[in-house]
Structure 1
């Protein structure tokens, strides 16, 4: 501001005014270029020193090395450009001006080669350093030959990945200092990190498009090359915007999925959390497809392609696929209605026909079931049919028990009730027991036992463990109180005297039958 004020305070001769203005612009840009790496190293170095204080001197040495080299290259580039641009006005010939530019380019090349061979950090092999040096010489040769577009493309391929990665790391370190939490914090983190990378890439693409547009118009003598280059550059910008939107959406969906109900939440919150974990991945996939399709169509439109016929053709193609792929359409639509009906969620155990298992994940056309023995079923929605959900709200397990006919049924009822109360009071089962185990009464009189019927109401999935423990406790209580569990038996009775008497009665019965059939005499 002081320099600009001093410049505007006086009247300068035209030539001197141009010289001072050009030098002032180069000086200001040089200070800005020098300040940017200082800021980046300060932000990155603060995090590194906080994590590893012993590496403070090493990070300072690396910062000094790169700051000096960046300043040297910026000085060659800016002040060299200033000097070369002013030489024709000072009376120098074109040949001398080109020689000065050539020498300045040699200085930049020498600095870059020195960076390759002396840069700190992980040491590179001799072959890698030699190849990188040759690559720099080729770029310098492209500049000498006037192939500016090719030169900038080579520079970007060499420096842009490292620059984007470094800017992203610094942006992440800056984003970590933001104290905002919740969805706003997630959005700010994505906007800062991905936005910083996108700005770097967009600036590089804009400059490259500017250089190529000039070269294309000069070489071709028309605007065709400029239109194509403009479309490609705009396509890259559209891709960056689409990537930013996708990262924002994905981060918000992941944040919402992690924001599930904690232990101790009520049943409604648990059900809502399970429903969101089921629907959000499907919504994320649909959103990814939508963003991808819109991005491709926008890029094609920017390149001059008429997308209206494509959209119409896609509609006709979609109708043809609909007729030819009825099973696929049936699967997708069935899945949509299953989701709308909230028939099942991720983590629930369901059964449909011969398929049963825990729901692990969804796709647009199928559900993934994990059987309790390990196998995985991938079932299309169209083949599910009626679904039996075994993980909703509560479950009633009814059991039967056989006791002998000489058992005290009333005592058995009291013992079963006591076992149910003990299980309901047990901390291991109390949270899962909705109604304690109790005996409903005598179910039937069997051939060898009295059949007792019992009922237990628990949360889904907990009935198996509680039932096994209940049977163990009932067996122990029955043994202690003389109640026997009935089992099928075969009783064989009688001896030799009884057998002889039975045989004699049988013979007498046969003799009486024969006497009744004999004819009567006159």
Structure 2
């Protein structure tokens, strides 16, 4: 192939120097031949053909053919390519006017075959069908669009619905304009070159209008403007900032779209590649000017209007960054150009997406607090926006670097394989992070669901207790599974053989299983405890010398909080038999001592009445399953009759109900004249001994009175 190109180049070179007869035939050459001649006259093309002619024949050894050139050679070749690109583009700049004049003649020749009336008809139809269809659509939907601006936002769901309807309305207007404009090409036969030019300009107009529509949707509320500017905004922006950035971003996108279309038109007009590059880079200077103007005139976020030193320094840095981007683009270093663009734009895009999601999901003013599920939706939307942005950037870099993320060819060198693996690993890890964040948000949202309105002991309360017990362990297991799968997939994308790694992990797992039998026993025991539903989070259990409220689990142990404060972390293998004190119901029994002269039948009736009063109490009724009643006499004591009482309550509530019951029994027994018995000491003796004791007591009282009188006189 290279030898054929050399022969062709030599033949055309000899033909170019043949003389006047060849010059006369130049006018009859087809456009493709002229383009080939123009390419062969390019210095870089000649240099490549000469180097191709000096290339050594392919080596006979297959191993030598597969050797990659050194890094220094590849770097030198890249620098040479950049230098040739700059030189070729710089050479084409002075010749642009000549090429433009040639293109104008070519366009004039084609349009000269079409009458002025027909051209006027084509352009008029193009404008009337597009703009007319759009104006008609806007007139018919004026009332509906006005209703969108006046629609009250009563819920977050309604806010999303209104935003979706606004976006659909804006897109519908642009789609109708595009359909009407394209109808002009279906109705009439256009000159080929004019058709290509008009289609390119139509695409530029659609891109510009689409960008402006998205800006209006994100930053501007629908008309008529609501009292609260930010109520129907997608991205929270101040009105003056929104107006400023709409103009600058719209101008930047419109200029870029039309410049891109013009460069595409140059292809249809037969411009060589170096002339197209030169035109594109010159048009890019306009983008640079727009960006620099936006940097230096951007609105100040602070209350102080005068720009400070930090603002000037930041503006200088951003300006230098914009100039550097233009030079990278003009030098043909598109990989470095897009990396530099993404380094600064991706964090800003992610922060804007996060702010937009938070703004859309903010609670309605004056309404009840947002449910936990909104936090799950916020996590999903925020992470989803970030995932889409980062994956789009990754695929765009792969496109710029000509990296196939799926295919694998034998011509790929080590650097290309590593680059493909790195980009594929980024996509895999981003997807794994997105899945993990959704799982975490769902589990946390379920664990945070309020339980105040759930009746204790009901099926719903049991279900939620069961979920609070199993979901943390399920989350940990899923984290390990997702991390392992994502890690192995990323290693496979990088080119590592994961088969031996999996086999080695299996052997290592068997070895660990034999060496850590107690750990395996704890894990398996915990699995069976959970399958048997032996205990749940929040329940009070006792196992041997360990007792307390279950606070949390891990794969091998349970955390118990004693009612006095200490925390026990007990491996599942050491629990053994478990006494669960928080299931279903609790029978509470207590004793009361009354005197022997008490009316026991009256005490029974009073106890029954107190039990009914406790059951009627709205504060205590949910905790009482069976009301309190007196079971009868337990035993006759030395100084009292023991009465036994019994009641059935919810687990963990028996102490509070018992205290209330005893308090009411005390009051009721006192009102009924039933006395509570307590131990007393009764001393008896003979008459003279009693008289002597009485005299001693009287003498002691007299002495105490004298001492008190002396103290009073001294004071």
The residue number in structure 2 matching 1:41 is 219
Give the drift of 1:302: 1.9
The residue number in structure 2 matching 1:450 is 641
The residue number in structure 2 matching 1:310 is 501
The residue number in structure 1 matching 2:653 is 462
Give the drift of 1:328: 3.0
Note the 1:187-206 alignment, pairs <5 A: 194-206=383-395
Moved more, 230-239 or 391-400: 230-239
Where 2:677 maps in the other structure, the secondary structure is coil
Moved more, 397-406 or 85-94: 85-94
Where 1:443 maps in the other structure, the secondary structure is strand
Q: CA 1:443–1:366 in 2, change beyond 3 Å: closer, same or farther?
A: same
Taking the aligned partners of 2:533 and 2:256, their CA distance within structure 1 comes to: 65
Taking the aligned partners of 2:594 and 2:376, their CA distance within structure 1 comes to: 67
The residue number in structure 2 matching 1:513 is none
Give the drift of 1:405: 4.0
The residue number in structure 2 matching 1:209 is 398
For structure 1, the residue ranges without an aligned partner over 5 or more in a row are 499-522
Taking the aligned partners of 2:455 and 2:285, their CA distance within structure 1 comes to: 71
Give the drift of 1:496: 8.7
Taking the aligned partners of 1:394 and 1:95, their CA distance within structure 2 comes to: 88
Note the 1:10-409 alignment, pairs <5 A: 22-42=200-220, 50=228, 52=230, 59-84=238-263, 99-120=278-299, 122-123=301-302, 125-167=311-353, 169-170=355-356, 194-213=383-402, 222-254=412-444, 256-257=446-447, 258=449, 262-264=453-455, 267-409=458-600
Aligned residues: 492
CA contact (8 A) 1:213 1:229 kept: no
Q: CA 1:116–1:353 in 2, change beyond 3 Å: closer, same or farther?
A: farther
Give the drift of 1:152: 0.8
Moved more, 191-200 or 14-23: 14-23
Q: CA 1:111–1:369 in 2, change beyond 3 Å: closer, same or farther?
A: farther
CA contact (8 A) 2:454 2:461 kept: no
Taking the aligned partners of 1:282 and 1:315, their CA distance within structure 2 comes to: 23
The CA RMSD measured in Å over matched residues stands at: 4.2
Where 2:589 maps in the other structure, the secondary structure is strand
Moved more, 96-105 or 468-477: 96-105
Taking the aligned partners of 2:222 and 2:413, their CA distance within structure 1 comes to: 44
Give the drift of 1:171: 5.9
Give the drift of 1:242: 2.7
Give the drift of 1:122: 2.0
Taking the aligned partners of 2:571 and 2:300, their CA distance within structure 1 comes to: 54
Moved more, 474-483 or 299-308: 474-483
Give the drift of 1:353: 3.4
Where 1:431 maps in the other structure, the secondary structure is helix
CA contact (8 A) 1:44 1:173 kept: no
Taking the aligned partners of 1:76 and 1:457, their CA distance within structure 2 comes to: 81
> Could you tell me which of 615, 623, 626 is aligned with 1:432?
623
Provide Cα deviations, 1:48-86, integer angstroms capped at 9, x if missing partner. 964757999974433332232223323443333444565
The residue number in structure 2 matching 1:508 is none
CA contact (8 A) 2:629 2:647 kept: yes
Give the drift of 1:454: 2.0
Where 2:528 maps in the other structure, the secondary structure is helix
Q: CA 1:121–1:329 in 2, change beyond 3 Å: closer, same or farther?
A: farther
TM-score for the superposition, normalised by structure 2: 0.59
For structure 2, the residue ranges without an aligned partner over 5 or more in a row are 1-178, 303-309, 364-369, 690-715
Where 1:343 maps in the other structure, the secondary structure is coil
Taking the aligned partners of 1:239 and 1:44, their CA distance within structure 2 comes to: 39
The residue number in structure 2 matching 1:506 is none
Give the drift of 1:92: 6.7
Where 1:399 maps in the other structure, the secondary structure is strand
Taking the aligned partners of 2:499 and 2:284, their CA distance within structure 1 comes to: 49
TM-score for the superposition, normalised by structure 1: 0.78
